[in-house]
Structure 1
């Protein structure tokens, strides 16, 4: 497995050449990716606070501002002020707990795009941080499915976003932790992991416009493993250039990653949310418990016909670049 991990910077080929510029993606660990296009910055929800499994199960949890700042610095990110949107497809603590502090203190321009339950969970936290509630946007009604529909959301001059109706696989033995939706705003910030209810999960499709008028670059972001056809893109938007997929809990559904790769016809796959988030953030983490990462990698390799150039297992801090290529090694 050690040879499978990627560190540093890796350049990836696009489906078609000629894109005018470069798109960078920095893996921040767990579900966090900083996506930088020529004119826009977008963040998928990171976690740096990483409460222990014992505190998560039995105690009080909350965002740790020192861990957030230290984690960003450790992984080479010192400025999030240009971020226009922070994406979280469901409202479990490991996706959403650190987000309001980041939005309030580090990304003053960013809208937080979440599901209905996420918006209602964050309401009292936003008030405690002085974060305008209007910046927390429920995008559930904008979501498409494999049949089509949905509404694109403009995130910047060269980026638009299509939410996709998705699902959350069970965590183990058919059991999904912290399942459920929230019917109204919380009146106080959540104190325990079980108060971070999932809500209705979304995936995301990003399109980056080519300044030269060519084909847009498409990036698919999976927020959680989903059984097919949940999380699928409408066929008109395939193939995608990059699919960010989740290995954790893959064995709880049939045909992951095979089904989503068949749907997206992804040119390249990057894996996120694979590492142990019950330990402090690390540039060299262990895989999360109960996920047989070597088995998932074997299935992924078969799904891409053994072409190891088509997938990346990044260590936190790794940067992927799409655009004009240079001969970077794995």
Structure 2
């Protein structure tokens, strides 16, 4: 039976993978399957294809080591780097392109590769003032940068993008946002280490086209009032959210229990692309939360595809 997932979209047959997927409801193909395809690039990186158009969310292929999932946590002085050869390989083989790039927030694991991808693809990039100033300082073409505040509902050729105000994950005992702040910069203030990339406000994005809609959150939190009336077919939900009251149930109720919940931002992004590993059990916690609802749970491996 066609499950809507590519063959490389699910984990390999390891014991850990089998345990994760044992309780997962497979995403059965709809009789009205859409013309939208989603591909997961690890972390919160997503490629959304609608016909000949491609929208990227938080693409980060370089995935350098920071120590994020060690007891000490990420080293804030970790140098920023962009693996241009890796990115060029995907671009030159035609496996990656972009008409729009959507940035949810300014942290290194969401923004670092975007300036180079924008330069190579010519894509229009949406983000807050801080996100755009960070990218300009990193060399992004400024005429491709489009400011967003949340509330925009924009139509393009074959798809639309709705931009929502959102919230970053609240972590630790004090429920703090890592590397917080919103600071307009100049090109002289080039970010060099990961703590230089501020959160800068957080946005969520709903992309609609090809007979389907998908809603993405870049952090495990949200502004519930922004979700009123939204009924996406797919919601991309980050793991975590332990400090957020009724994180998953409240979110899915607000969205009318979407057909599909796809896990995002669950892998150890200190590991290279192609080595999807859940470092702290967040994927299983999310699976159990979704299992208590009528939504179907989707888990992809790196570069796995899904058609809602």
TM-score, structure 1 normalization: 0.77
Alpha-carbon RMSD: 2.6
Asked whether the 8 Å contact 1:100–1:122 carries over to 2, the reply is yes
Q: Counterparts in 2 of 1:69-108, with a 5 A limit?
A: 69=88, 72=90, 78-81=94-97, 83-105=98-120, 107-108=121-122
Q: Does 1:316 align with 2:307?
A: no
Q: Does 1:267 align with 2:280?
A: no
SS at match of 2:178: coil
Q: Does 1:254 align with 2:254?
A: no
Hey, what's the Cα distance between the residues in 2 that align with 1:64 and 1:172? Answer: 31
Q: Counterparts in 2 of 1:93-242, with a 5 A limit?
A: 93-105=108-120, 107-108=121-122, 110-126=123-139, 131-140=140-149, 143=150, 150-154=151-155, 156-173=156-173, 174-208=175-209, 216-229=211-224, 232-235=226-229, 237-238=230-231, 240-242=232-234
Hey, what's the Cα distance between the residues in 1 that align with 2:269 and 2:209? Answer: 30
Q: Which residue of 2 is the match for residue 326 of structure 1?
A: none
SS at match of 1:57: coil
Asked whether the 8 Å contact 1:52–1:278 carries over to 2, the reply is yes
Q: How many residues align?
A: 281
Q: Which residue of 2 is the match for residue 212 of structure 1?
A: none
Hey, what's the Cα distance between the residues in 1 that align with 2:303 and 2:161? Answer: 24
Hey, what's the Cα distance between the residues in 1 that align with 2:171 and 2:273? Answer: 21
Runs (5+) with no aligned partner, structure 2: 1-15, 68-73
Instruction: Write out per-residue CA displacement over residues 269-300 of structure 1, whole angstroms, 9 at most, x where no aligned residue.
Output: 11111100112222x421144x5332222112
Instruction: Write out per-residue CA displacement over residues 2-44 of structure 1, whole angstroms, 9 at most, x where no aligned residue.
Output: 23459xxx86545xx656x621111111111111112421111
Q: Which residue of 1 is the match for residue 289 of structure 2?
A: 299
- 1:118 CA displacement: 0.3
SS at match of 1:205: strand
Taking a change above 3 Å as real, the CA distance of residues 12 and 66 of structure 1, as seen in their structure-2 partners, is farther
Runs (5+) with no aligned partner, structure 1: 144-149, 210-215, 323-330
TM-score, structure 2 normalization: 0.82
Hey, what's the Cα distance between the residues in 2 that align with 1:68 and 1:176? Answer: 29
Taking a change above 3 Å as real, the CA distance of residues 227 and 114 of structure 1, as seen in their structure-2 partners, is closer
Q: Counterparts in 2 of 1:22-101, with a 5 A limit?
A: 22-54=35-67, 56-69=75-88, 72=90, 78-81=94-97, 83-101=98-116
- 1:53 CA displacement: 2.2
Hey, what's the Cα distance between the residues in 1 that align with 2:113 and 2:221? Answer: 24
- 1:151 CA displacement: 3.0
Taking a change above 3 Å as real, the CA distance of residues 280 and 79 of structure 1, as seen in their structure-2 partners, is closer
Hey, what's the Cα distance between the residues in 2 that align with 1:295 and 1:79? Answer: 32
